[in-house]
């Protein structure tokens, strides 16, 4: 690979529409980036085979880092172990290149969670894979590099130190990568991602909400140049709990978190709002080509945030992963097995993903200090 930093693009699940939308997006005049600043990480055999079979022009001037794939095992329109392995290894390669300083950003085509699991990789999504491979390690391990266990044993505050380290390690899990969906001026963050509906409430806490929204604010300011962003938080329950009648999560978690975000962190946040009413007003503004009332919206769970996004901008919205050492973007759709290999895939979301990655990363390099420092955000735990 050349020494210059590039935007790395994966092919996703090769049995789906990933290779097709990558090729189409790279051929489009709407992709606002020099081909020499791009690099494909994936099977070059699949790449050229897809272009040939669909009658697409092969993009020129773009480097390809080949990830071997046995074409005799290529099956379209269904998840396979081989495609899951290729998806994971391609993304892992991107992370390795990022750590070596060769990546401005990572753009990922859609993968199949079933394919990943069939290959033995039990991740709930690409965000979790990126977290695993780009993480610098737990804070507990980082501290122990400077404070040996033998030192702790000799210290008469041994129990207190261990307790502090335990708290720091737990807080480190809170300040991880976050999924932020972008559709023009509409920005939606998910407090929880790919988990069962029955587990949503137990995955919400004041600490989790503080971590996620602090991360969101920093990204809005750093990545999108929105100073002092205005944020809205959806309630979890119908009518935002109706003062505890329909659930107590708002009273126990959401409202206390909002008060702390305002008073301690000076974040301009409002809510919790009944989600149906909040989205009705937001959709009306979006459909009228007006800027939404808020710079970002925070949903408590996956479908609460993504139903409005995909209804409004399924073909153009972008999924971004924030609070990683490099920005990651992805189309706002899945593998679309039902139309794979038929030259029917809409590639506009991939174009938007590439362009947004370029815009955000144009002046960034791989720096671990880009991640929110845990200790600075959790000083109150001592």
pLDDT of res. 136: 53
Residue 272 · residue 234 · CB < 8 Å: yes
> Which stretches of the chain drop beneath a pLDDT of 70?
1-2, 136-174, 363-382
Length of the chain: 382
Domains of the chain: 1-136+326-368 (3.40.718.10), 178-322 (3.40.718.10)
d(CA 83, CA 73): 9
Residues linked to residue 234 through DSSP beta bridges, in sequence order: 273
- Classify 104 in phi/psi space as left (phi over 0), alpha (psi -120 to 50) or beta: alpha
Cα dihedral 52→56→60→65 (10° resolution): -60
User: If we measure between CA atoms, which residue out of 136, 110, 109, 132 comes closest to residue 121?
Assistant: 132
Residue pLDDT, tens place only, 9-27 = 999 999 999 999 999 999 9
pLDDT of res. 153: 38
Token readout for 9 is 């693009």
Residue 325 · residue 134 · CB < 8 Å: yes
Residue 17 · residue 113 · CB < 8 Å: no
Give 304's contacts (C-beta < 8 A, 6+ positions apart): 234, 275
User: Checking DSSP bridges between strand 296-299 and strand 6-10, what pairing results, if any?
Assistant: unpaired
Residue 53 · residue 90 · CB < 8 Å: no
d(CA 37, CA 179): 25
Residue 24 · residue 56 · CB < 8 Å: yes
pTM over 0.95: no
d(CA 277, CA 25): 36
* DSSP letters for 328-342: EEEESS---GGGTTT
């Amino acid at each position: 690979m050349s020494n210059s930093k590039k935007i790395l693009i994966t092919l996703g699940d090769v049995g789906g529409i990933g290779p097709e939308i990558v090729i189409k997006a790279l051929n489009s005049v709407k992709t606002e980036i020099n081909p020499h600043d791009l690099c494909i990480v994936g099977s070059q055999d699949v790449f050229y085979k897809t272009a040939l079979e669909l009658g697409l022009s092969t993009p020129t001037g773009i480097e390809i880092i080949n990830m071997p794939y046995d074409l005799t095992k290529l099956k379209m329109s269904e998840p396979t172990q081989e495609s899951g392995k290729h998806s994971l290894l391609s993304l892992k390669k991107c992370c390795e290149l990022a750590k070596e300083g060769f990546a401005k950003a990572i753009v990922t085509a859609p993968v199949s969670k079933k394919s990943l699991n069939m290959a033995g990789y039990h991740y709930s999504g690409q965000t979790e894979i990126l977290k695993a491979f780009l993480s610098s390690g737990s804070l507990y391990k980082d501290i122990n590099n400077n404070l040996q266990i033998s030192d702790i044993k000799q210290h008469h505050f041994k129990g207190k130190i261990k307790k502090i380290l335990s708290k720091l390690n737990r807080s480190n899990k809170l300040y991880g990568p976050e999924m932020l969906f972008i559709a023009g001026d509409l920005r939606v963050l998910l407090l929880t991602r790919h988990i069962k509906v029955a587990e949503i409430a137990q995955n919400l806490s004041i600490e989790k909400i503080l971590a996620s929204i602090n991360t969101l604010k920093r990204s809005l300011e750093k990545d999108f140049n929105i100073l002092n962003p205005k944020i809205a938080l959806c309630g979890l329950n119908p009518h935002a709990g109706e003062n505890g009648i329909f659930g107590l999560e708002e009273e126990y978690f959401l409202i206390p978190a909002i008060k702390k975000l305002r008073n301690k962190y000076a974040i301009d946040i409002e809510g919790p709002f009944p989600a149906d009413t909040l989205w009705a007003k937001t959709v009306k503004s979006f459909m009228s080509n007006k800027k939404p009332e808020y710079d970002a919206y925070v949903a408590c769970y996956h479908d609460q945030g993504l139903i409005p996004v995909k209804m409004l901008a399924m073909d153009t919205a972008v999924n971004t992963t924030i609070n990683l050492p490099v920005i990651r973007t992805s189309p706002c759709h899945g593998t679309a097995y039902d139309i794979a290999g038929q030259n029917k895939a809409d590639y506009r979301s991939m174009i938007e993903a590439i362009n947004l990655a370029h815009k955000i990363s144009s002046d960034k390099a791989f720096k671990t200090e880009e991640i929110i420092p845990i200790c600075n955000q959790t000083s109150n735990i001592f």
